[in-house]
């Protein structure tokens, strides 16, 4: 069982985390250049939100066929191709001249990034003992948080630098505006990382890959047997994801519109808060769940997600009433801890109740469901900004509305998931034994 040696498992996980950081930098950069991109492309808040939403649609749709391959084919090759493709598409966003060109390029970013999640869950299930999988995937989730924070920092710095620099003129392409240059520069590192993954040794599988037909039978049986647990789990974390994506996406605009902070400055400060405090949440939730589990709580993973949601709702709402930018930055510290806390344990709670031959497929289905929050959160908030709260500071009331509605619903769904999830865990451990 050399693949289970701590240094091997954690080294592979570290490389996967690096890929996740790069993916989230490329994913989140669109939120940093909202204001200058709106001016140059003459688009609305709703259209900007859909640039994030369309990413989520194709991210989710592509995850399923990729997951089928990840449960039987080389996962390192799947990830390497995915990184290369999403990096090229990020650069293509910067070379675009019209809204629909950016829109199509964002579809490509979503398809490429869909390779990472299912392949990572499949690899992790083969690298770590079952009882360590929730912690390992929660640690992996911190990379997503760090990637988001780094995206805002790097994006803010690059935007600040290129705003005062001479226009970049490329052959054939022509002149690139500052927001376009930002896309190009953040997309370049992934091209190198893709080749690094080709050097990785493919982890040995604990179970031989099943045929596609046999795999589908296992998958269908799993969902029939555990439908209440999985359905309430998915609905709960979907709702928390929706409010989280809306909150994060419009954060820079919140500072610029409500407190009059320059976009580059707001992105950098928000990014540092995101980077330094956000990773605390997923790890703390996983450790809390592990402690509850050690005390005999079979629903520990669900309780940890519920607790994070209960804390995130008031933390986000309180920010919207901050009397100054300084107060808002301070209040973002606990908010970023709590809003990121549920999603490591959300992902990590599924492989422990599912057979290993369908880990990637279960991850893809969860990815599809939770991506609906990614799809709807930013554009719903953008619609509220335009129609329901069209005032200059209306973004704060849009976030309050979404947070209260979807936060409360998400926590209630997770409450309903507790008992069936505990039963599903008992069944899986009995079958494994």
The CA-atom distances, in angstroms, between 181 and each of 29, 152, 163, 334 are: 11, 15, 10, 33
- The boundaries of the domain holding residue 230 are 2-199+209-432
3-class SS of residue 16: helix
In a domain, 140, yes or no: yes
152 in a domain, yes or no? yes
| Confidence at residue 368, expressed as pLDDT on a 0 to 100 scale | 82
Q: Is residue 238 part of a domain?
A: yes
Spatial CB neighbours of 314, under 8 Å, sequence gap ≥ 6 = none
Domain count within the chain: 1
In a domain, 32, yes or no: yes
The pLDDT score that the predictor gives to residue 329 is 92
Closest CA to 125 of 201, 219, 70, 206: 206
> What confidence score (pLDDT) does residue 170 get?
77
Residue (of 327, 332, 337, 360) closest to 115 by Cα position:
360
Query: CA-to-CA distance for 385 and 395, rounded, in angstroms?
Result: 5
| pLDDT tens profile 335-354 | 999 998 988 888 888 888 88
Domain membership flag for residue 204: no
In whole angstroms, give the CA distance from residue 123 to residue 360: 9
The reported pTM is 0.74
Which residue ranges of the chain lie beneath pLDDT 50?
A: 1-4
Helix axes 75-94, 6-32, angle to 10 degrees: 20
pLDDT at 421: 94
pLDDT of residue 229: 93
Q: 10: domain CATH number?
A: 1.20.1250.20
- Structural domain includes residue 275: yes
């Amino acid at each position: 069982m050399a693949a289970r040696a701590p240094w091997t498992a954690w080294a592979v996980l570290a490389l996967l985390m690096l890929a996740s950081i790069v993916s989230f930098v490329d994913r989140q950069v669109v939120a940093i250049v909202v204001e200058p991109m709106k001016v140059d492309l003459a688009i609305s808040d709703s259209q900007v939100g859909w640039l994030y939403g369309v990413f989520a649609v194709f991210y989710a749709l592509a995850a399923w066929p990729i997951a089928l391959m990840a449960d039987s084919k080389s996962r390192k090759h799947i990830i390497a191709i995915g990184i290369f493709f999403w990096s090229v598409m990020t650069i293509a966003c910067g070379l675009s001249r019209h809204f629909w060109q950016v829109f199509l390029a964002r579809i490509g970013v979503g398809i490429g990034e869909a390779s990472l999640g299912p392949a990572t869950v499949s690899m992790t299930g083969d690298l770590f003992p079952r009882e360590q999988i929730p912690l390992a995937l929660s640690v992996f989730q911190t990379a997503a948080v760090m990637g988001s924070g780094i995206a805002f920092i790097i994006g803010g710095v690059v935007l600040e630098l290129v705003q005062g620099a001479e226009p970049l003129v490329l052959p054939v392409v022509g002149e690139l505006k500052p927001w376009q240059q930002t896309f190009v520069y953040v997309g370049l590192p992934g091209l190198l990382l893709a080749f690094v993954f080709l050097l990785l040794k493919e982890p040995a599988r604990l179970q031989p890959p099943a045929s596609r037909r046999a795999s589908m039978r296992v998958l269908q049986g799993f969902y029939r047997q555990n439908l209440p647990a999985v359905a309430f789990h998915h609905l709960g974390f979907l709702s928390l994801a929706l409010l989280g994506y809306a909150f994060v996406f419009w954060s820079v605009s919140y500072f610029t519109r409500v407190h009059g902070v320059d976009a580059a400055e707001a992105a950098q400060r928000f990014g540092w808060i995101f980077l330094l405090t956000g990773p605390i949440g997923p790890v703390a939730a996983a450790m809390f769940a592990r402690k509850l589990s050690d005390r005999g709580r079979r629903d520990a993973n669900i309780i940890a997600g519920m607790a994070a949601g209960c804390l995130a709702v008031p933390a986000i709402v309180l920010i919207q009433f901050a009397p100054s930018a300084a107060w808002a930055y301070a209040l973002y510290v606990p908010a970023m801890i709590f809003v990121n806390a549920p999603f490591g344990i959300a992902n990590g709670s599924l492989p422990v109740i599912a057979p290993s031959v369908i880990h990637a497929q279960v991850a893809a289905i969860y990815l599809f469901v939770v991506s609906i929050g990614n799809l709807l959160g930013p554009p719903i908030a953008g619609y509220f900004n335009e129609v329901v709260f069209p005032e200059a500071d209306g973004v704060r009331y849009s976030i309050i509305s979404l947070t209260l509605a979807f936060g409360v619903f998400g926590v209630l769904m997770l409450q309903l998931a507790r008992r069936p999830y505990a039963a599903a865990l008992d069944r899986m451990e009995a079958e494994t034994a």
